[in-house]
Amino acid sequence: MANNLLSINDLSKKDILDLIEFSNNFIDDEGNFRKENLFPDKIVANVFCEPSTRTKSSFAIAANNLGCSVLDFDIENSSIQKGESIFETVDALNLMGVDLCVLRHPESVIRELAEYLPKMVFINAGEGSISHPTQALLDIKTIMDHKENLDGLNIVIVGDLDHSRVTSSFVEGVSNFDLGSLTFCGHPEMCTKYQNPKIGKYESQLESALENADVVMALRIQYERFEKELNLDLETYKSEYQLSSEKLESAKGDAIVMHPGPVNYIEITEAVYDSENSVIRQQVANGVAIRMAVLSRFLGS
């Protein structure tokens, strides 16, 4: 395994399955996370240059559970506000003894940082709209908790796919498996990169996309990433692309519904979020276990 987790493509299928199996050890029979004092001499810095609730908190909790010291780096009150670059910032943390940097950044800087600071371990916690590897791992784990195996599954992803790093890493991750089908769906202007995908197919009608689906992933409209203002009639959007109980009827009865969060209830109704098919809250909990496994593997190597 590489020294850093920059992309899901850094992992083989075996690495992915091993990390998921390893993450299961960190959850006890009651569903609580085990606390293991494995790395009391390691310092993990959480450097988030974009907003985050689940990813940031789960990395902090995972690192605490493993006995690490956690530096919750406060970007808003840091010298980045005085014009310091991310390179100088992370170099300063490195000089102070930080062993591992969990980085979320709007731009693609993580690869260059990893080359610049080879002694530090880097874990990608969100790179612009490009990648989000630990989200893909927790998504695959959540599917395996319910379906055991990804082979043969019909998976549908619906929403603002062009801006979604969750989608790109998920697609890279699941391309290791022999899926039944992978269908991309959403407003054509939000799915320009997925009209002729390398794997899977695009379907503009949500009901057709959902036929026979085992797994449905909904994604929010990422307003903050649109370069020009969105000229969108929300009611029309909802009637076509919102995952509602009625539309979900086209999927298999035991289909699971996923969403990385945060949920805006434009892309999915509250009824579907709260339905028995929904595993959205389990994804959040799986985030801690997966990040405990990732931190252990990359701190240990």
Contact set with ligand NCD (CB under 6 A) = 54-55, 126, 132, 135, 165-166, 220, 222, 260-261
- Please say which residue, 200 or 260, places its beta carbon nearer to ligand NCD: 260
By the 10 Å C-beta count (0-12 exposed, 13-18 middle, 19+ buried), 267 is classed as: buried
Upper half-sphere CA count for residue 252 (Cβ side, 13 Å): 13
- Please say which residue, 132 or 291, places its beta carbon nearer to ligand NCD: 132
| Residue 224 C-beta: closest distance to ligand NCD, Å | 8
Residue nearest to ligand NCD (CB): 260
- Please say which residue, 117 or 293, places its beta carbon nearer to ligand NCD: 293
| Residue 289 C-beta: closest distance to ligand NCD, Å | 15
- Please say which residue, 42 or 220, places its beta carbon nearer to ligand NCD: 220
| Residue 103 C-beta: closest distance to ligand NCD, Å | 13
- Please say which residue, 39 or 170, places its beta carbon nearer to ligand NCD: 170
- Please say which residue, 153 or 218, places its beta carbon nearer to ligand NCD: 218
CA angle 21, 23, 25 (to 5 degrees): 85
* Number of residues that make up the chain: 301
* Nearest-angstrom CA–CA distance, 112 and 94: 15
* Nearest-angstrom CA–CA distance, 170 and 154: 14
What's the distance, CA 22 to chain centroid? 18
